[in-house]
Amino acid sequence: MSTIFPPVIRMEVNNKLLNVGLLMAATLVVAKLISSLLMSRSSRKRHLPPVVRASPPLIGGLLRFIKGPIIMLREEFPKLGNVFTLNLLGTKNITFLIGPEVSAHFFKASESDLSQQEVYRFNVPTFGPGVVFDVDYSVRQEQFRFFTEALRVNKLKSYVDHMVFEAEEYFSKWGDTGEIDLKYELEHLIILTASRCLLGREVRDKLFDDVSALFHDLDNGMQPISVIFPYLPIPAHRRRDRARKRLAEIFTDIITSRKSSSQCESDMLQCFIDSKYKDGRTTTEEEVTGLLIAALFAGQHTSSITSTWTGAYLLQHKQFLSTVLDEQKSVMKKHGDKIDHDILSEMEVLYRCIKEALRLHPPLIILLRYLHSDFSVTTRDGKEYDIPKGHIVATSPAFANRLPHIFKDPDTYDPDRFAPGREEDKVAGPFSYISFGGGRHGCLGEPFAYLQIKAIWSHLLRNFELELISPFPEIDWNAMVVGVKGKVMVRYKRRKLPIY
């Protein structure tokens, strides 16, 4: 230290030096801290989720997935927890996020982070060009807006009138007593109703047989192999392509005729014809056809399966059958025989019975996304995992809907679990119950589906005494949309539900 400075100045200088020194030391410490933090971030080894053990090495994972994803989940979940990865063919990884604690990102992430297009592209030859998974997200969003508009309450009100009419007409053909396969009957009724509400009067009244045969070919063109090789030249795909082409011709004629006669109908076809993109462009005939096919694929099997399960459970569980009948009686006391949108919406008990059947048997058992950017997730027991981009990310309504920490006695049919006071579907936030998915891509047809199933079941409950005469049905895990295995035989006797 220099001695040429007087003591006061020296003191000042000393203080200044001390301050500078302290400042430098502090800066160094902070810099060191920041750099070590950054270093540790960048060089920290990623903590990947545990991997399902499968043999033989390369194809073992794929074999386990093909054997049944739910069996695999049941075996692995207790060992590996909420988050784990299944390796397919050495290169592809599916990471499962099971349960509301870890699935929020799956449902809420932006399309640029987690997208559907890569994993659902196999639908393109069925839906056709220019729609849904064949177009950019910005166009797809607009097309989903068309769905949203076509399914608004004011539209649903007119669809309900068609639903009620179709149910009355269909069941009027049953005799006074008899035995039927409930699954077959409800499948047929739902095709008729969907034709009327979605495809329109022309198809329902004049072209029903032709169009349902074509839809049958489209449906059969969706084989498990189609998910991986949608364009494989197999007979089922050839029939699918022919059917798709013929449907486009039929709908082009109908649309042209509606436009030229300024005819306006209350169906989804009309909504799609009238839909406009943000830039003012109207939908083409090809797009309208594709959107209708997408609606039918989204709603038809899912709704008919759910109405069959609802019936099977109600006929099996007399205590719930009797509460649902009591509700019908009190609704009839108030409104007579009339059924419309608002009256169906009053049927809370029936709603819970359907919802519970759907909890136990969601027809879409696995939902998928493609991961474009890394993210990390913390499990229920506090473990943090990093999921790298490039993984396929999956969640499973069929598995998550039966988690015992969310649903009490999860394998038991208990519609009251959704009643006020219990509300188990909300126990762990919005993704506790995911039969309709949720978040960004939650089902747009949920209200339509409930109204349709309620319309069918309120008619049946009011007009027939029903008894399940075959064993309680099993699950058909082999179907693409997982449904009911075999017949569901029911004995019926026509009667009017006494309201007093």
Q: Please enumerate, by residue number, every residue annotated as part of a binding site for heme.
A: 443
Tokens of 224: 């498990």
Per-residue contact string for residues 132-161; x = within reach of ligand HEM by CB under 6 A: ------------x--x--------------
Give the tokens for residue 164.
């009620």
Tokens matching residue 258:
């509606």
Segment holding 167, helix H or strand E = helix 153-172
Cα 346 from Cα 448, distance rounded (Å): 15
The reply to whether 484 sits near ligand HEM by the rule CB under 6 A is no
Query: Rule CB under 6 A: is residue 432 a binding residue for ligand HEM?
Result: no
Binding ligand HEM by CB under 6 A: which of 87, 435, 458, 463?
435
Determine the residue with CB nearest ligand HEM: 445
Which lies closer to ligand HEM via its Cβ, residue 60 or residue 447? Answer: 447
Of 437, 460, 461, 492, the one binding ligand HEM (CB under 6 A) is: 437
Q: Are 267 and 196 in contact (CB under 8 A)?
A: yes
DSSP 458: H
Q: Could you give the C-alpha distances from 283 to 15, 22, 131, 146, 157, in angstroms and in order? A: 78, 70, 10, 10, 24
Among the listed residues 195, 275, 283, 303, the single contact to ligand HEM using CB under 6 A: 303
Q: Which stretch in 175-183, 275-283, 372-380, 443-451 sits in contact with ligand HEM by CB under 6 A?
A: 443-451
**Min. distance of Cβ 163 from ligand HEM in angstroms?**
11
CB of 144 to ligand HEM, least distance (A): 5
Question: What does R_g of the chain's alpha carbons equal in angstroms?
Answer: 29
In the bound state with ligand HEM, the residue whose beta carbon lies nearer, of 303 and 432, is: 303
Among residues 392, 394, 444, 466, the one that binds ligand HEM under rule CB under 6 A? 444
Contacts (CB under 6 A) with ligand HEM, residues 263-302: 295, 298-299, 302
Q: How many CB atoms lie within 10 A of CB 46?
A: 10
Nearer to ligand HEM, 141 or 177 (CB): 141
Shortest distance, position 111 Cβ to ligand HEM, whole Å? 10
Instruction: Determine if the peptide bond prior to 56 is cis (ω within 30°).
Output: yes
Q: Please spell the DSSP secondary structure of 265-280, one letter per residue.
A: -SSHHHHHHH-B-TTS
Residues 1-20 that bind ligand HEM (CB under 6 A): none
Q: ∠452-458-460 over CA atoms, to 5°?
A: 105
Q: Is 200 in the site for ligand HEM (CB under 6 A)?
A: no
The only residue of 443, 451, 460, 484 in contact with ligand HEM, by rule CB under 6 A: 443
DSSP string across 368-385:
EEEE-S-EEEE-TTS-EE
- Give the shortest CB-90-to-ligand HEM separation in angstroms: 26
Pairing of strands 474-476, 483-485: antiparallel
Site for ligand HEM contains 449 (CB under 6 A): yes
Q: Considering the complex, state which of residue 10 and residue 485 has its C-beta at the smaller distance from ligand HEM.
A: 485
Does 247 engage in binding with ligand HEM (CB under 6 A)?
no
CA distance 81 to 49: 10
Size of the site for ligand HEM (CB under 6 A): 21
251 binds ligand HEM (CB under 6 A): no
458 binds ligand HEM (CB under 6 A): no
- How many of the other CB atoms lie within 10 Å of CB of 356? 26
Interaction with ligand HEM in 339-368: which residues (CB under 6 A)?
362-364, 367
Q: Are 352 and 418 in contact (CB under 8 A)?
A: yes
- Asked if 370 is part of the footprint of ligand HEM (rule: CB under 6 A), the reply reads no
- CA 183 from centre of chain: 21
Smallest separation, CB 457 to ligand HEM (Å) = 13
Q: State the angle between helix axes of 446-463 and 318-335 in degrees (0 to 180), rounded to the nearest 10.
A: 90
Q: How many CB atoms lie within 10 A of CB 58?
A: 13
* Binding status of residue 125 toward ligand HEM by CB under 6 A: no
Side chain identity at 452, as an amino acid letter? Q
Q: Is 478 helix (H, G, I), strand (E, B) or coil?
A: coil
Residue number with CB closer to ligand HEM (332 or 406):
406
CB distance 85 to 94 below 8 Å: yes
**Binding residues for ligand HEM (CB under 6 A):** 144, 147, 295, 298-299, 302-303, 306, 362-364, 367, 435-437, 441, 443-445, 448-449
